[in-house]
Structure formats: C-alpha cells, structure tokens
Amino acid sequence: MLEKQEGLGRPTSTHAALIPIKKSSAWWSLTQEERRKIFEEQSHHTAIGLKYLPAIARKLHHCRDLETEEPFDFLTWFEYAPHDEPAFDQLLSELRTSPEWEYVEREVDIRLMRSISN
Ligand code: HEM
C-alpha cells in the first residue's frame, strides 16, 4: 500500500475532506482481533481503499482518550483533485455500507477547497 500511496500537499489536490468519526462502545468492547476481522476480513477496508490510491491521499489521526470521553475517536483527512471527488464519494459509499460502519456512531463529512496555493 505504501508504494501506491501519495503524500499530502500535492499541488493538484485542491480539494479535501475532514471526517471526524466516533465508533460505538460496542466496537471498543471487542478485542483487537475481533475488530481486525470486521475491519479487514468482513469489510475489506484496506482493499476497498487501495482501489482509490493514489488519487486520494489520506491521513488518519487517532484521538481516542480512555480517560476522558472525547466527541470523536478519529480525525480522518483526505486530499484529491476536483475531478476525483466522484471517486471519493464512491469510496465513502462503499465503506459506509460495510459491516465496520455499523459501529460508526457519528461522522461529520466536511468538504474543503484550497483558496491559495503555496
Ligand atoms: C483512501 C483510501 C483509504 C485507504 C487506503 C485506507 C486504509 C486504511 C488502513 C490501512 C487503516 C489502518 C490504520 C492505518 O494503517 O492507517 C485505516 C484505518 C481507518 N480508516 Fe481508512 N482507508 C482509506 C479511506 C478511508 C475513508 C474514506 C475513511 C472514512 C471516512 C476511512 C476511515 C478510517 C478509520 C476511521 C480508520 C481507523 C479504524 C479503526 O482503527 O477502528 N478510511 N484505513
């Protein structure tokens, strides 16, 4: 996957999406192995995502804190060229119909457009 993945900040990637995600307590009460099975074997998250590389560049931030209840567990960030937005929407609809997403309690889909280039 690393070979196919491109970095953030490509000049042509003027569009972006910031999608904060909270997974349910049911998800977090599963073992790591059970979560891996749902993510990989049942939902094919990586395999689905791979189809959209290198058009979509991604960055995943973990922000789950066991001590304090946080509004989101992950902040996901994606960058792409405007003509790849339909592909990005297709990627999202594939992921959202997967078993993994039954554990997504809340997500906010925020789209952004770069106004200056540097
Ligand atoms: C662009 C194609 C994508 C690829 C290749 C991809 C691949 C991966 C991989 C390999 C992981 C495991 C952690 C890591 O190595 O970073 C991961 C985790 C994750 N991805 Fe994606 N992904 C893609 C798109 C997306 C999209 C569009 C979303 C949601 C809007 C998303 C949400 C997440 C979340 C929330 C996790 C953490 C899951 C957990 O640990 O419970 N990914 N992704």
Break the chain into its structural domains and give their ranges.
Answer: 15-113
Q: How many residues does the chain have?
A: 118
CB atoms within 10 A of CB 91: 19
Residues 2-27 pLDDT 10s: 889 999 999 999 999 999 999 999 99
65 has pLDDT over 90: no
Protein residue with its CA nearest to atom 31 in ligand 1: 76
- Count the alpha carbons within 13 Å of 81 in the hemisphere toward its beta carbon: 10
Question: Quick one: average pLDDT of 75-103?
Answer: 98
Q: How does pLDDT run across 17-63, given as a tens digit for each residue?
A: 999 999 999 999 999 999 999 999 999 999 999 999 999 999 999 99
Q: Locate tokens 């189809």: which residue?
A: 51
CA 84, chain centre distance (Å): 16
Tokens matching residue 70: 């946080």
Q: If you take atom 17 of ligand 1, which residue's CA is the nearest one? A: 46
Choose the CATH number for 15-113 among 3.40.50.300, 3.20.20.140, 3.30.70.3420, 2.60.34.10: 3.30.70.3420
Q: What are phi and psi of 109, to 5 degrees?
A: -100, 105
Clarify whether 36 is annotated catalytic: no
Average pLDDT over residues 81-108: 98
